[in-house]
Structure 1
Amino acid sequence: MTEWMADYHIGGIVVGICTFLIIGLFHPVVVKAEYYWGTRCWWLFLLLGVAGIIGSVMVHNLVFSSLLGVFSFSSFWTIKELFEQRERVKKGWFPMNPKRKSEYDKE
């Protein structure tokens, strides 16, 4: 498959499309993760990011290595977004999980 991409010089287009999809996937993940687990799941995204960096360094194919890099840094960005999503929930912009209402009342 990578030979086919190299023959037609579309590696950059593939990376661009996949980057768009990866970033688009992470938005609902942030919303759902904050709703169900709050900010205490941030470490999971840290582990995913570190695993993505390790994978990116170990993979020899430039397209796949790039996509692993995009995935890992999207995971790191998700940590920041989780805490910002908490603030958006407090402002009433997103629904609050009624089972975790006491977590929002602490502050």
Structure 2
Amino acid sequence: MFFTGLIIAFGTFLIIGVFHPIVIKTEYYFGTGPWWVFLVLGIGAIIASLCIAQVILSSLLGVIGASCLWSIGELFEQKKRVDQGWFPKNKNRQ
């Protein structure tokens, strides 16, 4: 049996699950300012995935890169959700 697809699917599920609270916490503590960090990490992970021959690692790096890039949009959407009152606003952040 080959478990490559199952490992990639499970890794993708975990990566997406981890990025959800990362976006929420980033917006809570820092606002939308660090969007460029997600951009740099996303591009770096995608470039790294293109340079690695091992299928599982390359695939998971591609998923991480795509998740970082997707998180940029989600960061600004999270700000809207906070403004609508769906999530708490950090009173200590200017």
TM norm structure 1: 0.85
Name the structure where helix makes up a greater proportion of residues.
1
User: How far off its partner does 1:62 sit?
Assistant: 1.1
The SS at the match of 1:39 is coil
Runs of 4+ aligned residues of structure 1 deviating over 4 Å after TM superposition are none
1:48 is matched with which residue?
Answer: 41
Identity %: 51
Measured in 2, the distance between the counterparts of 1:70 and 1:42 equals: 18
> Which residue among 54, 62, 82 is the counterpart of 1:69?
62
| Structure 1 residues not aligned, in runs of 5+ | 1-7, 103-107
> Which residue among 30, 42, 45 is the counterpart of 2:23?
30
Q: Deviations over 1:29-82 (max 9, x none)?
A: 000000000000000000110110111011011111110000000000000000
Measured in 2, the distance between the counterparts of 1:52 and 1:28 equals: 20
| Structure 2 residues not aligned, in runs of 5+ | none
Quote the RMSD (CA, aligned, Å): 0.8
1:1-107 correspondence runs (5 A) = 8-100=1-93
> How many residues align structurally?
94
Measured in 2, the distance between the counterparts of 1:48 and 1:21 equals: 18
TM norm structure 2: 0.97
* Equivalent residue letter for 2:43: V
* Equivalent residue letter for 1:98: K
Greater Rg over alpha carbons, structure? 1
